Amino acid sequence: MPATRPKPRPGVLDIAPYVPGKSNAPGVAKVFKLSSNETPLGPSPKAVAAYRAAGAHLEDYPDGSASDLREAIGRAFGLDPDRIVCGAGSDDFLHLLAQAYLVDGDEAIYTKHGFLIFPIATLAAGAKPVVAAETDYTANVDAILGAVTAKTKIVFLANPNNPTGTALSFDEVKRLHRGLPPHVLLVLDGAYAEYVRRNDYEAGIELVATAENVVMLRTFSKIHGLAALRLGWMFAPAHVVDAVNRIRGPFNVNGPAIAAGTAAIQDLEHQQRSREHNTRWLNWLTDEIGKLGLQVTPSVANFVLIHFPQTKGRTAEEVNAFLMKRGLILRQTTAYKLPHALRLSVGTEEANRLVVAALQDLLAKTA
């Protein structure tokens, strides 16, 4: 029977749409949005000034190669700008890489509680997402390597991972890379790399610089506070850069974003303030919530994953509803196969203290 209307390609309607964190709590006067891992310090004032200046020329197309931004990133990290591509957030590159390297019937591996865009980008390219088990909410190198087949073309690894906040050491990442066939692309998503304070961590720059099948993704949405502008970058081998440049939009980064990102990457003082704030309050939240008898997965990012087993008397959904009434918006993680947990972004001092106080009140009522 002939089709009566256009149909999307097979697999598209199997995709569960990505649902962002909530941003409002109806009926509450003051809201603290702690659901999207946004920085509580906001963007660099220099980035805001650059953004406003760019607003005077909105009639002009942006530089299609984002030269100023790539050069600024290159200076900041000691990288060849020709091996950098800028895009509309790191999400943009997940789709571009899937489009460039996956065909129908291929497989891409990601971990059980990995970033939701990984399977979405894979399915959109007509390939099959393959889930590798984790250990203690952390990527397991042996499980990933055990999932590799002749059909595997990409391995996605968020490091640190969202929503668990866990990370693999650089030695483990290198072990993963050594175990992969040379034609398999290892995609290291370092969206939260700037927050990590562990000595055994490296975001992937060194590995990309010395390998032909590794790329690293970064974002301006987190520590730089430019989430509204949708800005990210990729560092990759020249042949991957060439492939991605052939299929990305010719103006996939807007002019104000280029200007703001160029200023932000150079404002080291603002980045350091944001990092220090996060380190202080990440540790405080982990300790204080742990004192309440709740399990918190140790995090190296700018958020914590709090577990609410039903044996405590309250489900994660009930806890979320209670916090929402107080204007405290956390991220439900059911879509990440974590139905009994909530993710809490590190917020302002006021917000952080209010969350702990609210959890204390709730648990006192159920004691």
Which pLDDT band, with edges at 50, 70 and 90, does 313 fall under? low
What angle, 0 to 180 degrees and rounded to 10, lies between the N-to-C axes of helices 89-101 and 117-124? 40
Give the pLDDT of residue 117. Answer: 96
- Count of C-beta atoms within a 10 Å radius of residue 7: 9
Q: Give the chain's mean pLDDT.
A: 95
Residue 145: pLDDT over 70? yes
| Residue 55 clears pLDDT 60, i.e. is over it | yes
What is the pTM (predicted TM-score) of this model? Answer: 0.94
Residue 232 pLDDT more than 90? yes
Query: Average of pLDDT values for 93-108?
Result: 97
Query: What is the rounded average pLDDT of the residues 255-259?
Result: 98
Percent of the chain with pLDDT over 90: 89
Angle of helix 67-77 relative to helix 255-266, nearest 10 degrees? Answer: 20
Would you say residue 129 has pLDDT above 80? yes
Backbone angles phi and psi of 306, in degrees to 5? -105, 130
Domain 12-42+269-366 in CATH: superfamily?
A: Aspartate Aminotransferase, domain 1 (3.90.1150.10)
Q: Do 93 and 232 meet the contact criterion of CB atoms below 8 Å apart? A: yes
pLDDT surpasses 60 at 367: no
Q: What is the pLDDT of residue 365?
A: 77
> Alpha-carbon distance 143 to 132, whole Å?
6
pLDDT at 311 over 60: no
Q: What is the pLDDT of residue 21?
A: 73
Q: With a cut of 90, say whether residue 97 has pLDDT above it.
A: yes
Query: Which is higher by pLDDT, 309 or 335?
Result: 335
pLDDT-based confidence at 247, cuts 50/70/90? very high
**What are the structural domain ranges in the chain?**
12-42+269-366, 45-266
What is 45-266's CATH topology? Aspartate Aminotransferase; domain 2 (3.40.640)
Give the closest residue to 41 by CA, choosing from 258, 346, 357, 355.
Answer: 346
